[in-house]
Structure 1
Amino acid sequence: MLKTRTGTRPARRRTMLAALSLAGACSLVIASAATAPAAGAAAAPGGHCANRARLHVPGAEHQQAACLEELTTAGTVASGHTDPADFAGLTPKDLPAPTGVPGIQIDGYFPDTSTTNTNHGWNHDAQFVIRLPDRWNGGLVVAGTPANREQYANDRAIADWVLSRGYAYAATDKGNTGLGFYRDGRRPGDAIAEWNERVTQLTRAAKAVVAQRYHRPPARTLATGLSNGGYLVRWQLENHPELYDGGVDWEGALWRTDGPNLLTFLPPAMRHYPAFAAGGPGAEDARKAMHEAGYPAGSEFLWPYHHKVYWDLTQRIYREEIDPGFDGDTEAGTPYCAPGTPACDADYDYASRPDSVHRAVDRIALTGRIGKPLITLHGTLDVLLPMAEDSDVYDRMVRRAGRGELMRYYRIEDGTHVDSLADTFPDKLRPIVPCHRSAFEAMEKWLDGTARPPADHTVRRPSGADATTLLTSCPLD
């Protein structure tokens, strides 16, 4: 049984948290053309929404099915079958929503005792959404959410597009949500460990529902996600490759027992950025210290926003999940504390923390031992999960594990962690969403055996490309 018990850690003084947070086999395994989804999408048996009442999500405690004329956000925003707050800020404002995807949507939840997800008035975690288009291409896409968001967080960035291509789609809230996600579980690391369990649980259930709806199981199942969702893709392909044919990882978070991980590269940013921002004789030394910590040269224009919104909050809430004893009875530390303040996260030194802290990370750590094909994307100007401290490292892990033939890694020039920032800095940033779509198509061809993806490389920003081109095009070759 999945653990999901809350309120079992020692009581701590609660702090006010404002702003958004973060958001095998050794040989190449390729699906044959006979098992690949059919080209295009075929009408589902029985017509529009047939057998809706007979669909049952295995293991669900509650479910409700709706027959919708539009499964994409072009319709679900108005019909109340998504939550725009859940995907706010993740995509460029002008990203179009495709239309013309009627079908069945199933919302529900699996048994759980935590209550951070308030969608539908259920106040119940382990919520999921499954979408079954009337015209199905034979495939299933499963996604875990970025940051600590709920099950609709990928609707604009991922779900709209894959649904328009005929895929069935399933997503989970990971079993706990919000800035206080770390309150879930009996011991440090439990909340994040549950994320992995919930994706596995949903994948198995969604496969069964697909078979009920279309009278045959999915010919192909792909995992994808961004940020924490990308971490989930990596973990699933390492630990449950039998459930998937491949995955596309969009800037996944790296958890590694000996580092690097969030708790090794965020504290240096918290320590050195204030001196850089203050100017004066110490500013250049602070800039160099930031670069040494992994924050790339040329990304300085992004540092003020990330200082204000991401670095401090992300460090404190994830450190609270992994190492709640660092700040005693205080919950999630002291916001924006100066180095030298007692129990200040700016001074946090993961390497020197007790073995119990490292064991907590070990429970959720990645190994690089993927068992199915993986394509990873990472922006060169990501300053929440710096590329040098994250995907560069994971790429080496995969190759050291002898699984290099299963992976392709593309560095997206001028991409950053949150695509909406491309609206703020159009002359300096490009959105990664079209690159994700190109990577997804490359994965399809890889699995079909029709084309091998290009070798690992940096995908250059096209010289002189306008905003429309950058939003809709990202050739990987």
Structure 2
Amino acid sequence: MRKFAKNNLIKEIILICAVIMSGFLITPNVQAMSNFIDGAHDVKVEHLDDMTTNNPAQNKAFAESLKNDGRNYSNWDAAGKPSRPDWTIAKGIVPGIQIKGIIGDAHFVMRIPDKWNGRLVVGAPGGTGSELSADQRLSDYILTKFDENGNSYAYAYTDKSARGEIIPTTQGQIKEAWRGRTAFLHPEDGIATWNKRMHELTVAAKDALKKLKGVGPKYTYINGQSNGGYVTRYALENDGGLYDGGIDWMGVLWTPEVNNISIKIDQYRDINIIRDPKATAVEKAAARAHYGLPEQSDFLIDKTIRGGKGLLDDSLRMKYDPEWKYRDWSEYGQHPEDYANYNWHNRPQKVKNNIKPFALTGNIKKPMITLHGTWDVQINPNYNSVYYSKMIAEKGKAAIHRLYLIDHAHHTDAIVGDPKVDKNHLMQPILPYSHQAFDMLVDWVEKGIEPPMNQTIPVPQDKQKAIDIKTGNEIDMY
């Protein structure tokens, strides 16, 4: 019998039924406050026979969630037809309580297995990803990591309030896919809100576990991707008491001096020089050195960054440096000429001070593993993760941090092997290494087994395999 569960099974069943009754929202359009999740509204609680995406209803909800995100892992056949790799498919059925709702303006999902191992994994996506966007790459994985008794992890994920609103453009058009552009239109919205929503979700998930299981989690891990990786970093710097460790998956750097605005505008300028037939060899070499990514990865620029026309979604610059150039949100990303003479580093100090309330310092309080692709043309690894690793070292925290650069990996695994993009199958996915990293983090935190030191993970000769970070050998991705 699990020591953290109530011994009386009947009492536990009664408790679950009571929770479901108190949590169900009968009228979805009414913002009813929850009696079960403090501070939440529009809450729906249900018991599912299977919470993984093997459940058709779960998989349908996941697929619909990608409309605003699009980043997902896929296999590709020679005809260019995508499919889900077998190794990412959940290898078991996980019944349990699923809770969906909204805290503030952030949507969340919680999944609590009937057979729980006493541990909790929380996280956030990058960009405008939904609370369901990591269902295949993370939720399925940790829900089916069964111990010898068949117990597995609880899971909670938030969209961090980054999806914005569906509002008409100035021409009266409705473009749902542009919701990310409207995320910062309200004065109270911003990157600092992401961290607040992550904190709120973690507290709420721990409280839900106490109510359902009679005790909170023994260990809590945070796992975030892209700007969700930033949220992981911030949480371990500022909310270390809530977590025991974290996975920072190609996180974004935010400091007053170097950040996602300055980096992308610098990249935009470098790429224009590299492509300019009038630029001298010396100018191109300097731009290439500053850009820092190999020429071999240039083919990814046109595919992943709006045809190479611009590297910045103006919503970030408009939010934190609005005095430079005003653009309506419906025009974001359409005027790269706005940045021909823009230099974040020369902007007034009051502009840079806008970043301070949510800036990273490198002073992490708990163990963290960072993963980043060496071909990530979207979130440059040198300025976002290598730079941050140096910040961590400067704070004397290198001993509790690991950085693994995944060679020939990009910001999204979805185009790995895509015959229209990765024609020669030069790329490799990050997802297998994210799973390895999570397992190593758990061993590090719970058993004191330190993972290997910082390194670059090479491309396996067999593209159906991955490299074992511990041994350097090629292994199956399963």
Rounded Cα–Cα distance in structure 2 between residues aligned with 1:310 and 1:153: 26
Q: In the alignment, is residue 380 of structure 1 matched against residue 380 of structure 2?
A: no
Stretch moving more, 434-443 or 359-368: 359-368
Rounded Cα–Cα distance in structure 2 between residues aligned with 1:43 and 1:253: 45
Q: 1:438 aligns with which of 425, 436, 439?
A: 436
Superposition deviation, residue 379 in structure 1: 1.0
Superposition deviation, residue 273 in structure 1: 3.0
Stretch moving more, 423-432 or 245-254: 423-432
Q: In the alignment, is residue 209 of structure 1 matched against residue 208 of structure 2?
A: yes
**Alignment partner, residue 312 of structure 1:** 310
Distance 1:78 1:51, change over 3 A: closer
Distance 1:353 1:461, change over 3 A: same
Distance 1:289 1:209, change over 3 A: same
Stretch moving more, 64-73 or 434-443: 64-73
**Alignment partner, residue 156 of structure 1:** 136
Stretch moving more, 395-404 or 54-63: 54-63
Q: In the alignment, is residue 322 of structure 1 matched against residue 317 of structure 2?
A: no
Stretch moving more, 57-66 or 77-86: 77-86
Q: In the alignment, is residue 395 of structure 1 matched against residue 389 of structure 2?
A: yes
State the one-letter code of the partner of 1:202: L
Rounded Cα–Cα distance in structure 2 between residues aligned with 1:310 and 1:393: 24
State the one-letter code of the partner of 1:223: I
Give the conservation status (yes or no) of the 8 Å contact 1:227–1:250.
yes
Distance 1:404 1:49, change over 3 A: farther
Rounded Cα–Cα distance in structure 1 between residues aligned with 2:331 and 2:267: 16
Distance 1:369 1:311, change over 3 A: farther
Rounded Cα–Cα distance in structure 2 between residues aligned with 1:44 and 1:427: 55
State the one-letter code of the partner of 1:362: K
Give the conservation status (yes or no) of the 8 Å contact 1:327–1:333.
no
State the one-letter code of the partner of 1:107: K
**Alignment partner, residue 465 of structure 1:** 462
Rounded Cα–Cα distance in structure 2 between residues aligned with 1:445 and 1:311: 44
Superposition deviation, residue 68 in structure 1: 1.2
Rounded Cα–Cα distance in structure 2 between residues aligned with 1:373 and 1:135: 27
Give the conservation status (yes or no) of the 8 Å contact 2:106–2:197.
yes
TM-score by length of 1: 0.79
Q: In the alignment, is residue 186 of structure 1 matched against residue 173 of structure 2?
A: no
1:66-116 CA-to-partner distances (Å, cap 9, x unmatched) read 221221122154575434442633323433320411111111112x3xxxx
Give the conservation status (yes or no) of the 8 Å contact 1:320–1:332.
no
Distance 1:42 1:249, change over 3 A: farther
Distance 1:236 1:52, change over 3 A: farther
Q: Which runs of 5+ in 2 are unaligned?
A: 21-35, 76-83, 146-151, 164-178, 472-478
Q: 1:415 aligns with which of 409, 414, 420?
A: 409
Following superposition of structure 1 onto structure 2, how do residues 248-397 of structure 1 map, counting pairs within 5 Å? 248-259=247-258, 261-274=259-272, 276-277=274-275, 279=277, 285-286=283-284, 288-308=286-306, 312=310, 314-328=312-326, 330-331=328-329, 335-337=333-335, 341=337, 344-397=338-391
**Alignment partner, residue 171 of structure 1:** 157
State the one-letter code of the partner of 1:242: G
State the one-letter code of the partner of 2:71: G
Following superposition of structure 1 onto structure 2, how do residues 6-85 of structure 1 map, counting pairs within 5 Å? 51-54=16-19, 56-75=36-55, 77=57, 81-85=61-65
Rounded Cα–Cα distance in structure 2 between residues aligned with 1:208 and 1:311: 47
Superposition deviation, residue 331 in structure 1: 4.1
Give the conservation status (yes or no) of the 8 Å contact 1:109–1:127.
yes
Rounded Cα–Cα distance in structure 2 between residues aligned with 1:141 and 1:183: 28
Superposition deviation, residue 308 in structure 1: 2.1
Q: What is the identity percentage for the equivalent residue pairs of Structure 1 and Structure 2? A: 29
Rounded Cα–Cα distance in structure 1 between residues aligned with 2:436 and 2:346: 42
Give the conservation status (yes or no) of the 8 Å contact 1:90–1:420.
yes
1:344-401 CA-to-partner distances (Å, cap 9, x unmatched) read 1343210122222201111221000111111111111111111111111111111111
Rounded Cα–Cα distance in structure 2 between residues aligned with 1:66 and 1:310: 45
**Alignment partner, residue 25 of structure 2:** none
Rounded Cα–Cα distance in structure 2 between residues aligned with 1:307 and 1:88: 14
State the one-letter code of the partner of 2:383: E
**Alignment partner, residue 137 of structure 1:** 117
Superposition deviation, residue 313 in structure 1: 5.9
Rounded Cα–Cα distance in structure 2 between residues aligned with 1:318 and 1:364: 14
Rounded Cα–Cα distance in structure 2 between residues aligned with 1:49 and 1:387: 50
**Alignment partner, residue 227 of structure 2:** 228
Give the conservation status (yes or no) of the 8 Å contact 2:271–2:291.
no
Superposition deviation, residue 405 in structure 1: 1.4
Superposition deviation, residue 185 in structure 1: 3.7
Superposition deviation, residue 239 in structure 1: 0.3
Give the conservation status (yes or no) of the 8 Å contact 1:131–1:168.
yes
Q: 2:97 aligns with which of 79, 98, 104?
A: 104
Superposition deviation, residue 171 in structure 1: 0.8
State the one-letter code of the partner of 1:169: Y
* Larger RCO, structure (CA 8 Å, separation 6 or more): 1
Give the conservation status (yes or no) of the 8 Å contact 1:323–1:357.
yes
Distance 1:370 1:76, change over 3 A: farther
Distance 1:145 1:89, change over 3 A: closer
Superposition deviation, residue 136 in structure 1: 1.3
Give the conservation status (yes or no) of the 8 Å contact 1:315–1:345.
no
TM-score by length of 2: 0.79
Superposition deviation, residue 139 in structure 1: 0.6
Give the conservation status (yes or no) of the 8 Å contact 1:266–1:315.
no
